[in-house]
C-alpha cells in the first residue's frame, strides 16, 4: 500500500491539535488530523467543560440550601434531579464537540482520520488500513487517569474522572481516593448533589503542592460541608462488601464503605501505544515525551504538545504549547516554554487561583522575600456575598520588588488571580500593584492593599 502524503500530520484533537491544524491549513499546507476517540480531547469531553458545568449545578444547589441566609424563603427542601444535571452537562459537551467538528470539516486542506495512530518510521504513521507520510508530525495525545496496582483494585468497579462523566445515578456514598485537584472538585460537587462523601489521601495533607496554610484552608472548606477527610492514609486496599465497596486504610481505622469509588491518583501520558520507538522519539522514565524549550522532540520534524510532554497538565498549557509551536514555525517569533509563568486553579467553591511560586518554593530559593495576606472575612465583597472562607496571599522579592507569586482562595479567586499574573508577565514590580486603583466593591480591590502591607517572609 502506498502512503498518502501530507505536509503535516497532527495526532490528537485536544486543545493544541485543532488550532494548529487551522493555522497550518490557513498557511496553505495539507494536513492529516488523527483522533482515536472524540474531537476536543479531555477538556471538552471528560475534563474542564463537563465538570465545570456540573460544578455550576452543584453551586446552584448549595446556594439554594443557603437561601434563608440571604432572607429568601423556599416553599420546600432543596433537591437535585441528577438526570437533568447530567443532561445539561452532556449538552454543553456535545455542543462544544459539535462546533469543533464543524470547524474542522470546513477546512478544505484537512483530512480527518478517526482511529489509533502508530508510527512506522519517523515520518510515517498508520491509522487502521491507511498509511500516512509527512515531513512534519505533531503529537497531542494527552493523558489518562492513573490506576495504581493497589490491593483489590481490580476486584471492584472503580470510577475514574472519565467514567464519572458517564455515571447516570447519584451515588449514595462516594469514596474518593486521592486528595488533589480533580478529586476534590468531584468530592465537593457530589456532596452538594446529596451524596455522602469520604476523601482518602495517602499524603499528610490535601493538595500537597500548595502551601500548608492553603491546604489547611481547603480541608476546612470541605469539612465544613460534612465531607469526611482522611489524610496520611497508608496500606490502601479495596474489597467488595455485598453490593457496596469497602476501602481499607491505616491499620486500626475502620474501613470506608460506600456505593461508588472514584480513583483520582494522578495522570499518565498517552504515549505507550504510539510506536514511538519506531520513530526514535525519546520519552522519560514516566513516559512523557522529551521536548526542548520550543517543544521539539529528539527527532527532527516531530513536536509534542499538551499533556503528553510533561510540561503542564492543563488546558491552558496545552493551548499555549500550540501558540509556541505556531509562533516558531509560522511567525518567526521565537517563543519558549520557559517564558510562561505557572498558573492554575482548583475549582472547588470558593475556588483557588494560583500563579508563580509558593511560599515554600520562595523559602527554598533562599531569596529575601516579602509576604502579605488577608482573610476573606476582611474583604467587603466576600462579606456582602456571604462567602468568607479562604484568604489571599502575595509574595515579592525584598530586594528587587519582583512579584514572585500569589494565591487567592475565595470567591472569584480563579478570576482575581489574573490581576497579579498579568503584572508578572509585564515584569511590573509590586509597587505597580500597590498603586493601582481597583473597582469597589470587588475581591480584587484588596490586592493593592495587601501589596502596601507586605512584611518580611520568615
Question: How is 38-93 classified by DSSP, letter by letter?
Answer: -TTHHHHHTSHHHHHHHHHHHHHHHHHHTGGGGT---SS-----HHHHHHHHHHHH
Neighbours of 273 (CB within 10 A): 11
Edge to edge, the sheet with strand 196-200 lists 228-230, 196-200, 173-177, 260-263
Taking the C-alpha atoms of residue 449 and residue 458, their distance in angstroms, rounded to an integer, is: 21
Contacts of residue 351, Cβ cutoff 8 Å, sequence gap at least 6:
345, 409, 412, 413, 414
For residue 162, what is the DSSP state? Answer: H
Asked whether the beta carbons of 384 and 441 are under 8 A apart, the reply is yes
Report the DSSP beta bridge partners of residue 396: 370, 403
For the four alpha carbons of 203, 204, 207 and 209, in that order, the dihedral sign comes to: negative
Edge to edge, the sheet with strand 136-139 lists 110-114, 31-35, 8-11, 136-139, 302-304
CA 159 to chain centre: 18
- Of 96, 99, 100, 90, nearest to 57 by C-alpha is 90
Asked whether the beta carbons of 31 and 111 are under 8 A apart, the reply is yes
Q: Is the peptide bond before 229 cis (omega within 30 degrees of 0)?
A: no
Crossing angle for the helix pair 315-330 and 17-26, to the nearest 10 degrees: 20
Report the DSSP beta bridge partners of residue 119: 125
Cell of 143: 493523558
Q: Does the annotation count 440 as an active-site position?
A: yes
* SS3 call for 187: helix
Cell of 157: 468497579
Taking the C-alpha atoms of residue 218 and residue 205, their distance in angstroms, rounded to an integer, is: 10
Cell of 337: 516554554
> Phi and psi at residue 46, in whole multiples of 5°?
-135, 0
Task: Kindly name the residue from 62, 173, 316, 440 that is annotated as catalytic.
Answer: 440
Cell of 345: 486553579
Taking the C-alpha atoms of residue 262 and residue 67, their distance in angstroms, rounded to an integer, is: 31
Q: Is the peptide bond before 27 cis (omega within 30 degrees of 0)?
A: no
| Catalytic positions | 440
Amino acid at each position: 500500500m502506498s502512503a498518502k502524503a501530507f505536509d503535516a500530520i497532527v495526532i490528537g484533537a485536544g486543545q493544541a491539535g485543532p488550532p494548529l491544524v487551522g493555522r497550518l491549513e490557513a498557511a496553505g499546507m495539507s494536513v492529516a488530523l488523527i483522533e482515536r476517540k472524540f474531537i476536543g480531547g479531555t477538556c471538552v469531553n471528560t475534563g474542564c467543560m463537563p465538570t465545570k458545568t456540573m460544578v455550576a449545578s452543584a453551586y446552584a444547589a448549595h446556594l439554594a440550601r443557603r437561601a434563608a441566609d440571604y432572607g429568601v424563603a423556599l416553599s420546600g427542601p432543596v433537591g437535585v434531579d441528577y438526570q437533568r444535571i447530567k443532561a445539561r452537562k452532556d449538552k454543553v459537551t456535545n455542543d462544544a464537540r459539535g462546533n469543533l467538528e464543524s470547524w474542522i470539516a470546513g477546512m478544505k486542506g484537512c483530512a480527518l482520520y478517526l482511529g489509533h495512530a502508530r508510527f512506522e518510521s519517523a515520518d510515517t504513521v498508520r491509522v487502521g488500513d491507511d498509511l500516512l507520510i509527512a515531513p512534519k508530525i505533531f503529537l497531542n495525545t494527552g493523558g489518562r487517569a492513573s490506576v495504581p496496582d493497589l490491593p483489590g483494585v481490580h476486584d471492584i468497579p472503580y470510577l475514574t474522572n472519565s467514567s464519572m462523566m458517564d455515571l447516570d445515578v447519584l451515588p449514595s456514598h462516594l469514596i474518593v481516593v486521592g486528595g488533589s485537584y480533580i478529586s476534590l472538585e468531584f468530592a465537593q460537587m457530589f456532596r452538594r448533589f446529596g451524596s455522602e462523601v469520604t476523601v482518602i489521601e495517602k499524603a499528610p495533607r490535601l493538595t500537597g503542592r500548595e502551601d500548608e496554610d492553603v491546604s489547611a484552608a481547603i480541608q476546612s472548606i470541605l469539612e465544613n460541608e460534612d465531607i469526611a477527610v482522611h489524610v496520611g492514609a497508608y496500606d490502601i486496599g479495596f474489597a467488595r462488601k455485598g453490593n457496596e465497596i469497602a476501602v481499607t486504610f491505616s491499620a486500626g481505622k475502620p474501613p470506608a464503605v460506600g456505593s461508588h469509588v472514584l480513583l483520582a491518583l494522578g495522570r499518565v501520558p498517552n504515549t505507550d501505544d504510539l510506536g514511538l520507538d519506531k520513530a526514535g522519539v525519546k520519552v522519560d522514565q514516566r513516559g512523557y515525551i522529551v521536548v526542548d524549550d520550543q517543544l521539539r522532540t529528539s527527532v527532527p520534524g516531530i513536536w509534542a504538545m499538551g499533556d503528553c510532554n510533561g510540561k503542564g497538565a492543563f488546558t491552558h498549557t496545552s493551548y499555549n504549547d500550540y501558540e509556541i509551536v505556531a509562533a516558531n514555525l509560522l511567525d518567526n517569533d521565537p517563543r519558549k516554554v520557559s517564558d510562561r509563568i505557572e498558573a492554575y486553579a482548583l475549582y472547588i467553591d470558593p475556588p483557588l487561583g494560583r500563579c508563580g511560586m509558593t511560599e515554600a518554593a520562595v523559602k527554598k530559593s533562599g531569596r529575601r522575600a516579602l509576604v502579605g495576606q488577608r482573610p476573606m472575612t476582611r474583604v467587603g465583597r466576600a462579606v456582602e456575598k456571604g462567602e468568607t472562607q479562604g484568604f489571599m496571599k502575595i509574595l515579592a522579592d525584598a530586594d528587587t520588588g519582583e512579584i514572585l507569586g500569589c494565591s487567592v482562595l475565595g470567591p472569584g479567586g480563579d478570576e482575581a488571580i489574573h490581576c497579579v499574573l498579568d503584572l508578572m508577565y509585564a515584569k511590573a514590580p509590586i509597587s505597580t500593584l500597590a498603586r493601582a486603583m481597583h473597582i469597589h466593591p470587588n475581591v480584587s480591590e484588596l490586592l493593592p492593599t495587601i501589596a502596601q502591607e507586605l512584611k518580611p517572609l520568615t
